[in-house]
Amino acid sequence: MTKPPLTLYLAAPRGFCAGVDRAIKIVEMALQKWGAPVYVRHEIVHNKYVVDNLRDQGAVFVETLAEAPDDRPVIFSAHGVPKSVPAKAEAREMVYVDATCPLVSKVHVEAERHHAAGLQMIMIGHAGHPETIGTMGQLPEGEVLLVETAEDVAHVQVRDPERLAYVTQTTLSIDDTAGIVAALQARFPAIVGPHKEDICYATTNRQAAVKAIAPRADALLVVGAPNSSNSKRLVEVAAKAGCSYAQLVQRATDIDWRALEGIASLGITAGASAPEVLVDEVIAAFSERYDVTIEEVETAKENVEFKVPRVLRQPA
């Protein structure tokens, strides 16, 4: 039986960003340096495949510092942590390594700088997301107010409308965030924004690639985890950019083949914490059913690299 033809548009860039790459490397190097077990507070990055792989190597994932023993190293996830977490680790004289993405750390520094200048902060982000919790936890209670939507801006109660600044989560939808920023500037004309966009280069680039593919594809799949903010935003961006069927899949086994019946073109991308091996797995699944022609759609080149902390570069 002949397979139906399928044009597969492969987004570039896709998958791992420099912050995720660095965070995974930190856990692997910590295991090499100190041996197993090494404790990791929260999933190092939001991807089950990655977490399971590191667990197999001897990483133990916990949600709170209280679950980690004093005498084993602990690593803080790429999403960042409130200031109280390293303070508790120091009080317990624990060895800890901070794997916070440097671009998230930049937002933390920004928030502290504005606070030192006497400004109250408004954070654009998702309630309950570890990055939002970490950023808001850099400053004292009440100094950072959270808004999730443009509608929230009308209801936020500030101390002084003339003394405000805003920061954003690094993994948001660029277009949605622009709308929220516009609402903030309309209500608080004196509000101070970041020197450079807080939404990170990887989020921006992956969304741009999806926008280039979405109008050309009958369907688009995002390889990523359901708790990955940047992956979920890619699904939303695809739908808004004109793709009639956009879906998040963790693995090839999650593909809804019935929903894809009759397609002639498909877009594939991956969130910033999804490894390329999972993209290959999805492509292989389509190659079994279709006569696949792959066309890479490249909208940017990435060559960003972040160093691991010095403690891991020194011998044990």
Active site residues: 131
DSSP labels, the chain:
-PPPEEEEEEEES-S--HHHHHHHHHHHHHHHHH-S-EEEES-SSS-HHHHHHHHHHTEEEESSGGGS-TTS-EEE-TT---THHHHHHHHTT--EEE---HHHHHHHHHHHHHHHTTPEEEEES-TT-HHHHHHHTTS-TTSEEEE-SHHHHTT---S-TTSEEEEE-TTS-HHHHHHHHHHHHHH-TT-B--SS-SS-HHHHHHHHHHHHHGGG-SEEEEES-TT-HHHHHHHHHHHHTT-S-EEEESSGGG--TGGGTT-SEEEEEE-TT--HHHHHHHHHHHHHHSEEEEEEEE--------PPPHHHHS--
Distance between terminal CA atoms of the chain? 60
Q: Which amino acid is at 200?
A: C
